[in-house]
Amino acid sequence: MRKYKFLGTPAWIGWFVLTCVAAVLCVYLAQWQMSRNDHLVAENAKITGNYDAAPYDAATGLSLFQHYDDAKTWHPVQLRGTYLADETVVVRNRPHDGRVGYDVLVPLRTDQGTVVAVDRGWIPTDDSANGMPSTVPPAPPGTVDVTVRLRPSQGPLDRGAPEGQVASIDLPDLTSRWGAQLATGGYGELVAEDPAAAVTPQAAERPEVSYGPHLSYSLQWYAFAVLVFVAYGYSARQHVKNVEWDRAYAAEVERRLARYYDAEGNYIGDVDESLVIRQLQMADDMPAHLKSLYRPKRTRARSGTSDEHEEDALLDALEERGRG
């Protein structure tokens, strides 16, 4: 373990702290992606469990429009009442099949007296260039039995709308238009009417059940949290190897110097000393990937010429070239 004492130096402590910070960030991102996945799982569970469920009657379901239960989103509810057709508004900027149009929102005064906002469906903009809605199909008059799916009130948007239009289905804001009897927790997305209107807006599409890539992204971030420590350990191991190679290289230089100089530093070689000095200087100035040629090779048990002999042959070849 003495080889790894360098890990206690300020530089390597700094790298370790940076590694820990990177790992914490990866874990945070992994948990964020996992929370998004959990949200999608919960939303998909509502769709699969509620969308095609048997409808609640008014006695059970009507209160949900005022005191909204998010777990009941998409659940059908049967209501009876009268549309307040004169209070119809359209909701701006609603996409459908790649086009932008409007949702038709009409208040329904139920037999119990509570007013429920009903989204009767989508209509396109007019074919003219003014961007206004086309003809709004009227709601059926008189008493009507409707089946709707529960949807939560939408938040306000920081933009206005022309008269007769709203920017979002913000039910608390609509009380100023439709009165205090309006249920402000949720609205109904129309499924069926009886009697049916002669012309109805386009019905909303079934919501898509999709889990997205969040789970795989989360697992990837967890893997990255582990890999940063793997990279730190690999770097430390490479540092140890480099130190060992440098020491071996220095020992090799000493060994070669011993061939040309005695213990007192006197030159005893049989070739021009300037050539020896130039060769050693050349090796010392080499880039790392070329200097490795001068480093001792790892010994392997094999027959034939040894690595040391090959190195000596290379040095001899350089010497012969220098003589030439």
Contact 188, 77 (CB under 8 A): yes
Question: What is the distance between the alpha carbons of residues 309 and 207, in angstroms, rounded to a whole number?
Answer: 76
Candidate ranges 53-57, 126-130, 163-167, 265-269; pick with highest mean pLDDT? 53-57
Pairing status of strand 186-194 against strand 99-110: unpaired
- HSE, side-chain direction, 13 A CA sphere, residue 240: 12
User: Which residues, in sequence order, are bridge partners of residue 104?
Assistant: 90, 121
Domain map of the chain by residue range? 2-49+213-222, 53-194, 233-323
Tens digit of each residue's pLDDT (9 = 90 or more) over 12-39: 999 999 999 999 999 999 999 999 999 9
Q: Return mean pLDDT, the chain.
A: 84
Q: Across the chain, where does the E strand assignment appear? A: 76-83, 89-96, 99-110, 115-124, 143-152, 165-166, 186-194
What pLDDT, on a 0 to 100 scale, did the predictor assign at position 22?
A: 96
Contact in structure between 67 and 185 (CB atoms under 8 Å): yes
Judge contact between 145 and 118, C-beta under 8 A. no
Q: Mean per-residue pLDDT for 78-99? A: 90
- 279 pLDDT above the threshold of 60: yes
Which burial class, exposed, middle or buried, applies to 238 when counting CB atoms under 10 A from its CB (0-12, 13-18, 19+)?
exposed
- Options 3.20.20, 2.40.50, 2.40.128, 3.40.50; CATH of 53-194: 2.40.50
State pLDDT tens for residues 119-144: 999 998 876 655 677 788 899 999 99
pLDDT tens-digit profile of 193-251?
999 888 889 988 888 888 889 999 999 999 999 999 999 999 999 988 888 887 877 77
